[in-house]
A and B are shown apart, each in its own frame.
Chain A
């Protein structure tokens, strides 16, 4: 049975999460087709066609799909899904938005946020904020799955040569429309894809102090994250939040600064390879998961760290 992967992109570039979702598809096994739906996204289709292991790219290029609204994108994917055994998308906010609609239209359950493929019908996924790992088996004829990108290694972006085939199905949408967006501008690497992440919590005291983290981040080529406490206090925007309800990251190095380490924050970063905690409270739960802990005042440590790097 073949697999359909829904590409994640911004109409210009493919998101790295798609290459990781392709790795999950390879672990399931079978021919892999990729759907690129969007507006003016021919370049994305060409990029996907070069990725390792892709059999065919299906390109639905139409203004109606330009903003990836779930109402019609979900219907489009559900129509195409009938030819496949598995439908996969990255568990990003876009994937989480339209995929459950696909599942419901197909009258099947969805398996969310998988972290491992045991076999073509059996998967592992975290539950209870990552405090338990469930192994689940799907009996549905079509398996609708979202993939936790940080749990899989990306397939090669080069070397493939898949054919691109146009999908002419146009699903109109009179129920919802895109009004506008405010995207956070950042020169630093994307939080979910960065090799190093440095995050600040309530201990940072205010938004201004985040520049201390940024200076260290610039030396390390790191992305800057935050705990929910820092976001709720208005220090930084919400798209920087790492945790159960924010972004899930698994970088090689995660540096938690002034973060106590609540269960909900750990859910977003405890699969990082190396964790460093800098906190002046030696009882902080973050030290229980940290490989290296430094009990000290972050306002002393951050400038020293910047100097030392």
Chain B
């Protein structure tokens, strides 16, 4: 079985973002970039399925400028077999990404596509579901457990009230939640080996996808600052302040 994993290059999750002075966007110049944490979990799950002998090939794909090759190499170092970069001038929106991924799915014909549940930059939580709609595949979103069976997959999903399990016919799409697994670190020998693994470059044009956006970004602002609070000395003072000053008790 072949597994396709989509990965995204995003700002490192530990970096505190700054909004540009002209409010056009956040400032990404000279900021540390990394593999989106949910995508790391997706790669890890695919590699584990390969280690169990369930998958025989793990293909990773990323969409964007040449810089995304760095994240593809990271995924290769974690255990993916080969990589595909779909070159675009900048990062397209979720719908365009889903259309591009549909093109890749049609070419590669994977039995399972694994994506992260959301990217920590745009916080959209859309791409996996959109790919499901475009390909007609069923989806197991926010997965915390995956059990492969013959011709189907059982996915345990993190939902608002607890957990839900669904059975999906293959080929299917899974999006990862944080608790699906604990991703491994890439070892130095694996990082060296990853440099020799195949990485193909294609373009959105070759896949026949228009990446024009229909949602315009008008402005980006910092969130409202909270005014500085006070430290209280003990519980009695805390309860007094909550009752008489904040009036929330």
Contact = CB atoms under 8 A, between A and B. Distances in A.
B130 A101 contact: yes
A94 B127 CA distance: 16
B117 to A, nearest CB: 8
A70 B94 contact: no
Nearest to A243: B178
A228 interface: yes
Nearest to B132: A101
Contact of B130 (A103, A238, A247, A293): A103
B209 interface: no
A69 interface: yes
Nearest to A173: B138
A114 B220 CA distance: 14
Contact of B16 (A102, A131, A289): A131
Given A132-B223, A244-B123, A309-B249, A293 B232 contact: yes
Contacts of A129: 120, 123
A304 interface: yes
Contact of B129 (A70, A183, A290): A70
A299 interface: no
Interface string B234-246: 1110110110001
Interface string A171-183: 0001111111111
Given A104-B133, A109-B95, A182-B163, A175 B215 contact: no
Contact of A237 (B162, B220, B241): B162
B98 interface: yes
B126 A100 contact: yes
A77 B16 CA distance: 38
B125 A96 contact: yes
A269 B16 CA distance: 17
A127 B248 contact: no
A212 to B, nearest CB: 13
Contact of B95 (A103, A253, A264): A103
Q: Which of B95, B118, B213 is most buried by chain A, counting CB atoms within 10 A of its CB?
A: B95
A112 B121 contact: no
Interface in B221-237: 221-223, 226, 229-232, 234-236
Given A100-B125, A129-B120, A276-B242, A92 B248 contact: no
A94 B160 contact: yes
Interface stretch (A58-66, A136-144, A155-163, A203-211): A136-144
Contact of B133 (A105, A174, A296, A304): A105
B187 interface: no
A107 B11 CA distance: 28
Contacts of A183: 161-163
Contacts of A102: 133
A142 B164 CA distance: 31
Interface string B121-165: 111111111111110111111101000000000100111111111
Interface string A265-309: 000001001111000001000010111111110000100110011
B168 interface: yes
Interface string A96-130: 11111111110111111100000000100011111
B17 A132 contact: yes
Most buried by B among A135, A253, A301: A135
B166 interface: yes
Given A178-B166, A245-B178, A128 B121 contact: yes
Contacts of A71: 132, 138-139
Nearest to A71: B138
B213 A131 contact: no
A92 B161 CA distance: 10
B177 to A, nearest CB: 7
A220 B243 CA distance: 12
- Which of A70, A93, A276 gathers most chain B CB within 10 Å? A93
Contacts of A128: 11, 17, 26, 120-121, 123
A132 B222 contact: yes
Contacts of A109: 93-95, 213-215
Contacts of B154: 179
A239 interface: yes
10 contacts: A70-B141, A92-B160, A110-B126, A112-B125, A113-B123, A131-B222, A133-B221, A175-B138, A178-B166, A239-B161
Interface of A: 67, 69-71, 74, 92-94, 96-105, 107-113, 122, 126-140, 174-184, 192, 196, 220, 228, 231-232, 237-239, 244-245, 247, 252-253, 263-264, 270, 273-276, 282, 287, 289-296, 301, 304-305, 308-309
Interface of B: 11, 13-14, 16-17, 19, 26, 93-95, 98, 117-118, 120-134, 136-142, 144, 154, 157-169, 172, 177-179, 213-223, 226, 229-232, 234-236, 238-239, 241-242, 246, 248-249
| A-B residue pairs, 8 tightest by C-beta | A100-B129, A104-B133, A175-B138, A104-B130, A100-B126, A176-B138, A101-B133, A179-B165
